[in-house]
Chains A and B, each alone.
Chain A
Amino acid sequence: MHVDTPARPHTSTTHRRRARPIALLWIAALLLAACGTARGQATVPPGAAPATGDTASPAVSGAGVKVTIGSKLDVDGQLNAQMYALLLQARGFDVTTKLGLGQTPVLDQAIKSGAIDIYPEFTGTALTLLGLPSTQDPQKAYNDVKARYAEQFQLTWLDPAYELNDSYAICTSPAVAQQRNLTTIEDLKPIAGELTIAAQQDGIEAAVDPVERAYDLRFGNVVQIAEQLSFDAVTRGDADLNVCYTTDPAILVDNFVVLQDTKNVFPIYNPAPVVRAHLLQEAPQIADILNELQPHLSTEVVIELIKQVSVDHKSVEEVARAFLEQEGLLTR
């Protein structure tokens, strides 16, 4: 029954809404992604970076050490990787970035094979990669992946950004929230049977199932649809709720309401830099440099940064640099 699509007449021809910039941007992103890995590759010559100056003392200089930083396709991952790159460049490292390299398995292979040295990964995703069950406990998730990665792959997890949780949530449009008086997932219980929820394929197992179990409710209908398009589906009335990512800028742009998860059922996804242990032996100061960044990141901060990239069309580098300067991690 989870694959049924709603046989609902499309009655909303009377009201046309503006084309949402996110949908268009998403198309552009897919097209770019299809063009391969050429995008986002940039090499900074060794001598160029230190000139910009910064708080780096000679003791932590990374001059001459070559570092390749990769990221997945998502803007969140690209921003994180770009910040790592800027911080290391400022300390004199010879940084090459390969942003938007591919999906999780690509990055996983790339770092294990040594094609890249560092990339941001989520604790929750790493648990899945390791075949371990997901958890709601950030500390446990981090400890488990850190131990396994060190032992099995000679990869080191640096400090995670505990305040940045790129997880799943149940969202709805402001109109539906108001009409149905929804603020928490608990509020869904009496009406869930009448509601259609749009979820990406992975959101069924990661969000719909746990919510139905923990809150003892059953959604009337589940439609499988790409996460980025699910906001449109709710706005149009094809669905009442959607499973969203907590850092999706549509939450900001379209004022989508994230229903509070009072029972804490969603798995934790904190990002952290995953670094090849060999590189850390060569340049142990990388740990301190990147760990310094993590307390500055939070879900609220990053969703705004993602919006600047995917809605306001600023470049990843521009946004990452401005943020680091604003936080005093990089001098102008």
Chain B
Amino acid sequence: MLAPFRQFLTDPRTDFAGETITYLRLCAIPIVLAVVIGLVLGVLVARRPLLAFVVSNLSGLARAIPTLAFLAAVLPYLGIGFTPAVAALTALGIPPILLNTIAGLRGVDPAMVDAARGMGMAPRQILSRVEIPLVLPVVAAGVRTSAVQIVATAPLAALIGAGGYGDYILAGINLLRPAPLVVGAGCVALLALLVEFGLAAVERAVTPAGLRPGRSPASAAVESGPGTPARIT
């Protein structure tokens, strides 16, 4: 029963360590790029209603393009291998972060800012003590969605020569072999779960104590506030 798996994993061709490193890079680089691009773009457009409308709808539209189609479409321009795969996965990862950043920034209740000002806070203090703490959990939710999507979609990169666990999955499907298929799919699932739980913990950690669900009446405001609609999973 386990013999095919042992055989597969011990085959030097399998190169499990190498493929794992490839896969981790294939996920980590797009996640970092998507966070940077999504955040910067989001902050830039959030206060400009028209731009925010255009950008969020464009990125919503981009989500509708299947990654596979994107990979095939950019092939004539970006070629094959690691770079186009990273480009495609980054494009996939930007929308949730961008949309949540915009939603988070626009969702800050002006009354809270008013109250802070009334308490005598300077603009910088308002930003660091009121606005950022309110926005961060929403952004973190976007990052989590985006990261899990990237981890779960990265096997497709094997279609354009970027390697990783996708090689195992495709070999398993095409050669009708369960061992590589199960190992590849299992590792992807495990990694996706780790990222999901890890980033959920981060999300909790960056949520101000007073806003955590079940802690205070304020939690109700968050549930119906910016967090929920933007977290599209």
Interface residues in chain A, defined as those with a beta carbon under 8 Å from any beta carbon in chain B: 2-3, 5-6, 10, 12, 16-17, 19-20, 23-24, 26-27, 30-31, 34, 103-105, 125, 128-129, 198, 200-202, 204-205, 223-226, 229, 232-233, 236, 238-239
B160–A2 CB distance below 8 A: no
Q: Closest CB-CB distance, A241 to chain B, in whole Å?
A: 14
Identify which of A2, A6, A19, A202 contacts B175 (C-beta below 8 A): A202
Known: A16-B76, A17-B76, A198-B161. A128 touches B18 (CB 8 A): no
Q: Closest CB-CB distance, B201 to chain A, in whole Å?
A: 33
Sample of 8 further A-B pairs with CB below 8 A, known A27-B73, A103-B173, A226-B160:
A12-B79, A105-B176, A128-B175, A201-B170, A202-B175, A204-B171, A223-B161, A238-B80
Residues of B with C-beta under 8 A to A198: 80, 161
Known: A200-B170, A202-B174. A5 touches B161 (CB 8 A): yes
Distance of A3 Cα from B170 Cα, bound (Å): 13
A–B Cβ pairs within 8 angstroms, 22 of them: A3-B19, A5-B80, A10-B79, A10-B83, A17-B76, A23-B76, A27-B73, A34-B66, A105-B176, A202-B174, A204-B171, A223-B80, A223-B81, A224-B170, A225-B80, A225-B161, A226-B159, A226-B160, A229-B72, A229-B80, A232-B75, A236-B80
Q: Is B163 an interface residue (CB 8 A)?
A: yes
A200–B174 CB distance below 8 A: yes
Q: Closest CB-CB distance, A209 to chain B, in whole Å?
A: 9
Known: A2-B13, A3-B15, A225-B161. A201 touches B69 (CB 8 A): no
Distance of A2 Cα from B158 Cα, bound (Å): 13
Distance of A148 Cα from B141 Cα, bound (Å): 55
Known: A224-B161, A232-B75, A238-B80. A201 touches B68 (CB 8 A): no
| A-B Cβ contacts below 8 A, count | 97
Q: Closest CB-CB distance, A69 to chain B, in whole Å?
A: 22
Residues of B with C-beta under 8 A to A27: 68-69, 72-73
Q: Is B131 an interface residue (CB 8 A)?
A: no
Residues of B with C-beta under 8 A to A239: 80
Residues of A with C-beta under 8 A to B73: 23, 27
Please encode chain B, from 84 to 123, with 1 for each CB lying within 8 Å of some chain A CB and 0 for all others: 0000000000000000000000000000000000000000
B167–A30 CB distance below 8 A: no
Residues of A with C-beta under 8 A to B80: 5, 198, 223, 225, 229, 233, 236, 238-239
B75–A229 CB distance below 8 A: yes
Distance of A12 Cα from B80 Cα, bound (Å): 13
Distance of A136 Cα from B162 Cα, bound (Å): 32
Distance of A129 Cα from B91 Cα, bound (Å): 38
Residues of B with C-beta under 8 A to A201: 158, 167, 170-171, 174-175
Q: Is B153 an interface residue (CB 8 A)?
A: no
A6, A17, A224 — most chain B CB neighbours (10 Å): A224
Please encode chain B, from 144 to 168, with 1 for each CB lying within 8 Å of some chain A CB and 0 for all others: 0000000000000011111100010
Q: Mark out the residues of chain B between 44 and 92 whose CB falls within 8 Å of any chain A CB in the assembled complex.
A: 66, 68-69, 72-73, 75-83
Which single residue of chain B is at the shortest CB-CB distance from A202?
Answer: B174
B176–A104 CB distance below 8 A: yes
Distance of A125 Cα from B176 Cα, bound (Å): 9
Q: Is B207 an interface residue (CB 8 A)?
A: no
Distance of A128 Cα from B176 Cα, bound (Å): 7
A5–B76 CB distance below 8 A: no
Distance of A104 Cα from B68 Cα, bound (Å): 21
Distance of A200 Cα from B175 Cα, bound (Å): 11
Residues of B with C-beta under 8 A to A229: 72, 75, 80, 159-160
* 3 A-B pairs with the lowest CB-CB distances in the bound complex, closest first: A202-B174, A201-B171, A5-B81
Distance of A241 Cα from B8 Cα, bound (Å): 27
Residues of B with C-beta under 8 A to A16: 76-77
Q: Closest CB-CB distance, B169 to chain A, in whole Å?
A: 9
Q: Closest CB-CB distance, A148 to chain B, in whole Å?
A: 15
B79–A225 CB distance below 8 A: no
Distance of A129 Cα from B178 Cα, bound (Å): 12
Residues of B with C-beta under 8 A to A205: 171, 175
Which single residue of chain A is at the shortest CB-CB distance from B22?
Answer: A3
A202–B160 CB distance below 8 A: no
Identify which of A202, A223, A236 contacts B76 (C-beta below 8 A): A236
Q: Closest CB-CB distance, A153 to chain B, in whole Å?
A: 16
Which single residue of chain B is at the shortest CB-CB distance from A16?
Answer: B76
Known: A198-B80, A238-B80. A23 touches B72 (CB 8 A): yes
B73, B163, B176 — most chain A CB neighbours (10 Å): B176
Identify which of B15, B75, B78, B163 contacts A5 (C-beta below 8 A): B163
Q: Closest CB-CB distance, B160 to chain A, in whole Å?
A: 6
Distance of A6 Cα from B159 Cα, bound (Å): 15
